[in-house]
């Protein structure tokens, strides 16, 4: 199978290549695609080097599927051109997520919505993906009324420039050296917390927060679920963490909650208070699962659960989810 990775030289594109190799997706020929300034550069896949080609050449190569991670503007321009050429596009940007004609897919939750007629499939926001994986088995059993989520998001979610900023600031703090580094954020991120991800909207929420609100309902196919979010950037790498408070219509048994989560696809329960065992970004790093812990009743109101959800935002939150969509489509002869 011929596979294109669009944005192959970026953080997520590089991770897509890694995940394709690790999961042994049946790539017979790789077509790495990037912007004009990256054309001619080389990327490595399974020990072999491939030259990066332009968008036009990527379409001409006629891959069966193209994994896009090149930003919303690029996707709006080029995803339809790939689709018109008969190429299935799985897009990691926000460009198509809320388009009513496009599917927004997390395989553990709603892969069954995909059909042979879907040529542009949206990959959800990283923080939404891990949350809905954890919510789905509980929604099926108890029916969710409301979710209150606060996120603690890795700098890798912003990109290479943010990693450079964090490392530069850390070097300055440790060595006392004023190293030159890019500024991905308005403020220092090392030894700091920035309660803003993406731009502010008229309602006082950020774009990232409203993504979580809208995407959750679309993926879980239930507009009655009420979601409110506060998204925060913290100086870590390895994954995003979320404090999730879930109110249900029906009461739950805590032991049954643990069993439901442990049995659900893509979830690892790490919940042992006595052993101080709970999910952390450093343990989720380079793993594909969603890790859930700190499970406990909200004692301030009935039928409400608190949980802590952690996942590698570059893998399950982006690259792995996209590859899993392609795997599902392949298994159902949709590619």
d(CA 129, CA 148): 15
Do 120 and 142 belong to one domain? no
Do 92 and 139 belong to one domain? no
d(CA 99, CA 92): 14
Do 304 and 198 belong to one domain? yes
pLDDT of residue 53 exceeding 80, the answer is yes
pTM of the predicted structure, to 2 decimals: 0.96
Do 164 and 296 belong to one domain? yes
**pLDDT (mean) for 253-274:** 98
Do 15 and 73 belong to one domain? yes
Which pLDDT value is given to residue 179?
A: 63
Do 215 and 146 belong to one domain? yes
- What is the domain-level CATH number for residue 7? 3.40.50.720
Reported as a pLDDT band with limits 50, 70 and 90, residue 177 is low
Distances (CA, A) of 227 to 11, 134, 244, 311: 29, 15, 10, 20
Do 50 and 193 belong to one domain? no
Residue scoring higher pLDDT (171 or 304): 304
Q: Are 5 and 32 in contact (CB under 8 A)?
A: yes
Do 194 and 285 belong to one domain? yes
- What is the domain-level CATH number for residue 176? 3.30.360.10
Do 217 and 229 belong to one domain? yes
Do 48 and 151 belong to one domain? no
- Rounded to 5 degrees, φ, ψ at 278 are -155, 160
Reported as a pLDDT band with limits 50, 70 and 90, residue 153 is very high
What are the tens digits of pLDDT across the range 283-315? 999 999 999 999 999 999 999 999 999 999 999
**pLDDT (mean) for 30-44:** 94
Q: Are 62 and 85 in contact (CB under 8 A)?
A: yes
Q: Would you please indicate which residues are annotated as catalytic (active-site) residues?
A: 126, 240
Helical segments of 111-151, H only: 126-142
| Number of domain units in the chain | 2
Q: Are 79 and 96 in contact (CB under 8 A)?
A: yes
77: CB partners within 8 A, 6+ apart? none
Provide Rg for the chain, Cα atoms: 20
**pLDDT (mean) for 228-244:** 97
Domain encompassing residue 159:
128-313
Do 145 and 252 belong to one domain? yes
Do 109 and 216 belong to one domain? no
Compute the Cα dihedral for 154, 160, 162, 164 and give only its sign. Answer: positive
Which pLDDT value is given to residue 172?
A: 87
């Amino acid at each position: 199978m011929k596979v294109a990775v669009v944005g192959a030289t970026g953080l997520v594109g590089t991770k897509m290549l890694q995940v394709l190799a690790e999961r042994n997706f049946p790539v017979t020929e790789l077509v790495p695609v990037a912007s004009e300034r990256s054309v001619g550069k080389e990327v490595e896949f399974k020990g072999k080097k491939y030259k990066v080609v332009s968008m036009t050449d990527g379409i001409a190569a006629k891959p069966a599927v193209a994994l896009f991670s090149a930003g919303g503007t690029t996707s709006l321009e080029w995803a339809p051109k790939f689709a018109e050429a008969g190429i299935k596009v799985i897009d990691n940007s926000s460009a198509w997520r809320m388009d009513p004609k496009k599917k927004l897919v997390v395989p553990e939750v709603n892969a069954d919505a995909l059909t042979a007629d879907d040529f542009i499939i949206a990959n959800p926001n990283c923080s939404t993906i891990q949350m809905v994986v954890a919510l789905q088995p509980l929604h099926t059993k108890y029916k969710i009324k409301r979710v209150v989520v606060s996120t603690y998001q890795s700098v890798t979610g912003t990109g290479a420039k943010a990693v450079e900023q964090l490392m530069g600031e850390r070097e300055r703090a440790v060595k006392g050296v004023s190293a030159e580094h890019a500024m991905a954020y308005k403020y220092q991120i090392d030894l700091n917390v920035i309660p803003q991800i993406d731009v502010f909207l008229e309602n006082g929420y950020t774009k990232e927060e409203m993504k979580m609100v809208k995407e959750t309902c679309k993926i879980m196919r239930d507009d009655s679920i009420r979601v409110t979010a506060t998204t925060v950037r913290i100086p870590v790498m390895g994954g995003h963490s979320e404090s999730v408070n879930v109110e249900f219509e029906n009461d739950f048994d805590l032991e049954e909650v643990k069993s439901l989560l442990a049995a659900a696809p893509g979830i690892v329960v790490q919940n042992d208070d006595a052993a101080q065992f709970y999910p952390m970004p450093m343990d989720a790093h380079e793993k594909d699962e969603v890790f859930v812990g700190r499970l406990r009743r909200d004692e301030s109101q009935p039928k409400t659960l608190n949980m802590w959800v952690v996942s590698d935002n570059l893998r399950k939150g982006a690259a792995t989810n996209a590859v899993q969509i392609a795997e599902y489509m392949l298994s159902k002869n949709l590619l």
